[in-house]
Structure 1
């Protein structure tokens, strides 16, 4: 399987007074094309920082991150922005939308910059995605007229509008109730089954248990990994027990 992202000895530091602290302390990790991975760990362990480093959203102080063969540190800010916009999709715990645009216009906005002459095609794709995630009837709604779960679905549509190679999710189900979280994971799993890689940061064992590989972080390092077969929908309890046992073993 082809490697999509390669992180080698990644270091990310911050200072408190005269003391230097490594949020990422020599982390090495690889993500393959089409892989479904998650990152777990206590607050401050570096899991979100790792995701930002792997996506080029945040610079690093040491090591190297390559995306699809390109060294992110060697790219200009414009090149990084173009890469993120065309090859990566992002879903966050609290999706950010433009207040004076409706749901459909918010979804297509990022792609209009690169496809000024294809507005009809982009709009058609957005409507197809909205139908796929169950919000087709909401395209004319303002963002204040839909639920949090519906906004997250719109966020997934926006993340997929450019047909990215990977979706990054930072606690994408963190603000949802259990039913909406399960529905969101069903959608993300479907996206992955169609060939898009997924990297999720989560504190929820039930969410992580649905992925194929879990990386456990502690004090800026990946201290353990766990692998599963593709989620069948029937073995969640057994997978959760194994994740919980590993968390107890590590002390998180």
Structure 2
């Protein structure tokens, strides 16, 4: 399979007070087109920092990040913004929407800069996505008039509006109850089956067990990884047991 995004010897530290605190220690990783990958590890191990580095959301101190043959680390801020807006989608634990816009307009917002002349077509696409996420009846509601799970579905619609090559999710189910979390994973699995590459950060082994490759991190490094067959909906317990056993083996 073709590599879509790779990090080569990534080093990242943060300045806290007068001291540099290392977060990523010479991390190298490659994600192939069509993969469904999760990153697990204890708090502070660098998993979110790695996701931000690979998506160009955060700069790195050393190393390179390559996205579909493009050296992300060589891009300026404007070029990075264009890359993220047009070829990547992002889903966070707490979706950030503009309170002054309704759900539909918030979903449309990332596409309006580049496709302002195609508002009708964009609106049709947004409504199609909302229909797929089963929230089409919420289009005109304010963001305060929907549940957390519904808002996260709207966030996925927004992430998909520009038809990205890859979705990055930082704890996308972290603020949801178990039923809503599994519903969101069903949606992400469906998106992945259609060809979109997905990388998630999660602390929940139940969520990681739904993915096909798990990167385990500890102290700023990838210490192990696990590959699982494609999830078919009936082997949750076995997959979860394997994930938990690996976590115990490596002490996370």
The answer to whether TM tops 0.5 is yes
> Could you report, residue by residue, the CA deviation over 1:18-50 in whole angstroms, capped at 9, with x for unpaired residues?
543210000000001111000000000000000
| Matches of 1:163 and 1:31, distance apart in 2 | 19
**Structure 1 residues 149-228: aligned runs within 5 Å:** 149-228=149-228
How far apart, in 1, do the equivalents of 2:67 and 2:205 lie? 28
Report the counterpart of residue 22 of structure 2 in structure 1: 22
User: Which residue of the partner structure matches residue 10 of structure 1?
Assistant: 10
Q: For the residues of structure 1 that align with 2:211 and 2:103, how far apart are their CA atoms?
A: 29
Give unmatched runs, 5+ long, in structure 2: none
Cα distance in 2 for residues equivalent to 1:15 and 1:116:
40
Q: What is the aligned-residue RMSD (CA, Å)?
A: 0.8
TM-score (norm 1): 0.99
1:52 aligns with 2:59: no
CA-CA distance at 1:175 after TM superposition: 0.4
Distance (whole Å) between structure 2 residues aligned to residue 20 and residue 151 of structure 1: 37
**Which runs of no fewer than 5 residues in structure 1 stay unpaired?**
none
Query: Residue 249 of structure 1 aligns with which residue?
Result: 249
- Runs (4+) of structure 1 exceeding 6 A deviation are none
TM-score (norm 2): 0.99
SS in 2 for 1:29: strand
Would you say 1:238 and 2:231 are equivalent positions? no
Secondary structure in 1 matching 2:53: helix
Shift of 1:157: 0.2
Listed one character per residue, the Cα deviations across residues 60-107 of structure 1 (whole Å, up to 9, x for unaligned) are: 000100001111111111110000000000000000000011000000
Equivalenced residues, count: 252
| 1:250 CA drift (Å) | 1.0
Q: How many Å apart are 1:222 and its aligned residue?
A: 0.0
Deviates more, 1:7-16 or 1:50-59: 7-16
Rounded to whole Å, the distance in 1 between the matches of 2:104 and 2:164 is 19
> Does structure 1 residue 144 correspond to structure 2 residue 126?
no
What displacement does 1:17 show? 4.7
Secondary structure of the structure 1 residue equivalent to 2:175: coil
Quote the Cα distance in structure 1 between the aligned partners of 2:166 and 2:145: 29
TM superposition shift of 1:214: 0.1
1:38 aligns with 2:38: yes
3-state DSSP of counterpart to 1:21: strand
Inter-partner Cα distance in structure 1 for 2:84 and 2:62: 21
